[in-house]
Structure 1
Amino acid sequence: MKKIVVTGKTIEDAVKAGLHQWEVSEDRVKIKVLEQPSKGFLGLFGIKEAKVELEWIPDALEEAVHFLQDIFKTMNLTITTDLQKDKEGAILNMTGPELGILIGKRGQTLDALQYLVNIVANRFSSSHLRIILDAENFRERRKNTLEELASRLASRVIKTKKEVILEPMNALERKIIHTELQDHPVVKTYSKGEEPNRRVVIALK
């Protein structure tokens, strides 16, 4: 844990000095008084200042961003991040000229990074925090692609009267397919297989 010891004429002065040094607000630190101030003999000699210890309280989202920045630095990538908080956690969108390597095939690398980012963030959060990691709105584009795929394959099933088994997908992508076709009057969907090779099947009702 990150700690500093600071002094001041009063406890309040010592705390202010520490907060100024770290450039943070008081709600981001734990304060422990090490020594009370005293005026000394006759109020003149041996004046002792207050001494306090400040302990940094990590912010879960900040730690997640720092984790990503360390990865970018290690990989020598120029990537910027934009953090937007929502009710369940946050959406962390990455932008830059070299996003392909971070997205990977069908977003698999992006999913792996998202998994790690959530582990890091929840180490510093008192309640469960969900972070969606995105790359120039890849998630939305992928969602649209899967919805179009679902509709197209549903038409094929109706035409050929044969079920279609899709490629392995993660749970989020399978849900997109299921949701797109859940109210379809002719076809149904279900999943089969074990992770990470679980697949969606589209078949006639």
Structure 2
Amino acid sequence: MKKVVEKASTVDEAVDKVVEKYGLQEDEYTVNILEKGFQGIFGLFSKEAVVEVQIKRAYFERRLKEFLKDILSVVDPGVQLSVKSSGKSFFVDVKSENIGKLIGRHGKTLGALQHITMIFLNRLSDTKLNVILDMGDYREKRKKSLEKIVEEAVKKALSEKTKVVLDPMFAFERRIVHKLVKKYKGVISYSIGVEPYRRVVIEYNGSRREGRRKHDIKESI
């Protein structure tokens, strides 16, 4: 996820520079020696050591957990977090006695927290990473709620042969809606607007071929 090349008089010094700079713990990196270096004779013909330090996912998991812990502890000092990762996605589960405050109305606080944690994590990495934050099984509960919303919207779009514009949603919610709409015939879905007011439109499609229009934009979690 991140490789750092460093130079110093010796291999140990080069590694120490990286460890200190990033605050790495012993099990969070591996070292590949590119050049062992040479101190030379009487200061002549010396050559610096060069190392490549590979920062492991354990580092990103720890930093992500620490970052969120500092923020959420303001609301609940006893908040508990667990972080797991797979590929380029990091899954964070939060348990708290004040879970309602942390989620916020309509999940707005949860969405904002996910956004800033994703920014934080990607500043540490060389590649783009995803953060999927959940609190009190909010995502599963929200999915069930969205199923009802989509069902009603599809009924209206089909009966009135029109389009229904849903309320603004987070990216992960829009993605769920698009998947749900694909189960129905005669309607399509697409997103309009810009964040944080981006909405899903469910539109009557009649006998036309099912699928998204050219202006549809693929959603991300």
TM-score normalized by the length of structure 2: 0.63
1:25 and 2:26 equivalent? yes
Q: Identity over aligned residues, as a percent?
A: 31
The gaps in structure 1 that reach 5 residues or longer are 1-10, 16-21, 31-56
Q: Which amino acid aligns with 1:149?
A: I
Mapping for residues 50-61 of structure 1, pairs under 5 Å: 59-61=59-61
1:194–1:83 CA distance, 2 compared to 1 (3 A): closer
Give the corresponding residue for 1:141: 141
Mapping for residues 66-145 of structure 1, pairs under 5 Å: 66-145=66-145
> How far 1:124 moved relative to its partner?
2.5
Q: For the residues of structure 1 that align with 2:129 and 2:191, how far apart are their CA atoms?
A: 28
Q: For the residues of structure 2 that align with 1:74 and 1:103, how far apart are their CA atoms?
A: 14
Q: For the residues of structure 2 that align with 1:167 and 1:127, how far apart are their CA atoms?
A: 32
Give the corresponding residue for 1:35: none
Q: Which amino acid aligns with 2:113?
A: L
Q: For the residues of structure 1 that align with 2:134 and 2:28, how far apart are their CA atoms?
A: 30
Q: For the residues of structure 1 that align with 2:110 and 2:193, how far apart are their CA atoms?
A: 23
Task: State whether residues 61 and 121 of structure 1, in contact with CA within 8 Å, keep that contact through their aligned partners in structure 2.
Answer: no
Q: For the residues of structure 2 that align with 1:77 and 1:151, how far apart are their CA atoms?
A: 40
Q: Which amino acid aligns with 1:140?
A: E
Task: State whether residues 147 and 180 of structure 2, in contact with CA within 8 Å, keep that contact through their aligned partners in structure 1.
Answer: yes
1:198–1:93 CA distance, 2 compared to 1 (3 A): same
Give CA-to-partner distance per residue, 1:35-54, whole Å, 9 cap, x none: xxxxxxxxxxxxxxxxxxxx
> How far 1:29 moved relative to its partner?
8.1
Q: Which amino acid aligns with 1:102?
A: L
1:97–1:26 CA distance, 2 compared to 1 (3 A): closer
Q: Which amino acid aligns with 1:84?
A: K
Task: State whether residues 60 and 121 of structure 1, in contact with CA within 8 Å, keep that contact through their aligned partners in structure 2.
Answer: yes
Mapping for residues 41-56 of structure 1, pairs under 5 Å: none
Task: State whether residues 61 and 85 of structure 2, in contact with CA within 8 Å, keep that contact through their aligned partners in structure 1.
Answer: no
Q: For the residues of structure 2 that align with 1:78 and 1:27, how far apart are their CA atoms?
A: 26
Give CA-to-partner distance per residue, 1:97-116, whole Å, 9 cap, x none: 10111111221111111111
Give the corresponding residue for 2:47: none
1:29–1:84 CA distance, 2 compared to 1 (3 A): closer
Give CA-to-partner distance per residue, 1:53-72, whole Å, 9 cap, x none: xxxx7912211111111112
Q: For the residues of structure 2 that align with 1:107 and 1:187, how far apart are their CA atoms?
A: 27
Q: Which amino acid aligns with 2:102?
A: L
Q: For the residues of structure 2 that align with 1:139 and 1:115, how far apart are their CA atoms?
A: 15
1:190 and 2:190 equivalent? yes
Q: For the residues of structure 1 that align with 2:62 and 2:190, how far apart are their CA atoms?
A: 39
CA RMSD of aligned residues (A): 3.1
Give the corresponding residue for 1:175: 175
Give the corresponding residue for 1:5: none
> How far 1:154 moved relative to its partner?
0.7
Give the corresponding residue for 1:153: 153
**Larger Rg over CA atoms:** 1
Q: For the residues of structure 2 that align with 1:194 and 1:73, how far apart are their CA atoms?
A: 31
TM-score normalized by the length of structure 1: 0.67
